[in-house]
Amino acid sequence: MEIEFAILAEKVESVTGGIFSMKNGNIGSVTATVFPVPHVAMMLVIRLALLPADCARKHRYKIDLYNANKQLLVAVADDTFLYDGKLPTGNQKAAFMMYLTLRGLYFDAPGVFTLHIALDGRLVKKLSIEAHLKATDMSLPTEDERGRVTLTA
């Protein structure tokens, strides 16, 4: 089993027959006026290539967010999945798409954060998100501005 791609997006707008469209895909940074800043939800789209032996059993995925100091900040997801599609034959691989809503993310300070994706207890992919402090005037943010996040690819 291997990850063919993993993409962070603000929102996956439709999923039809394996085709998806996303809003603000391939997120690489967040900008906020103050820290720490929560993020309501981000989507993670993962495409896996499964060998026939991978299709016959459950797999565990775990997704964690680490801060710039390499400390675990949020345990985002820990669950299992089972492929239920057409079984590949020989050396063929089956494509399996996962659409995950990541909730409870927050960024404690400006810096580079890393989303770790583990499959069956093995770290298989890291995605970086850089958190920036938005330059503002010297006044304190209003209640409306606190916790606002801008996502950029």
Per domain, the residue ranges of the chain are: 2-152
List, for residues 114-143, the tens digit of each pLDDT value: 999 999 999 999 999 999 988 765 555 554
Q: What confidence tens digit (pLDDT) does each residue in 31-52 have?
A: 888 899 888 888 898 999 999 9
pTM: predicted TM-score of the whole model, two decimal places: 0.81
At 16, give phi and psi (nearest 5°).
-135, 115
Residue 145 confidence (pLDDT): 47
In the DSSP assignment, the letter for residue 139 is S
Distance CA 43, CA 153 (A): 13
Note the CATH number of domain 2-152: 2.60.40
132 forms bridges with which residues in the sheet?
A: 31
Contacts of residue 77, Cβ cutoff 8 Å, sequence gap at least 6: 61, 62, 63, 100, 102
Nearest to 29 by CA among 42, 20, 46, 48: 42
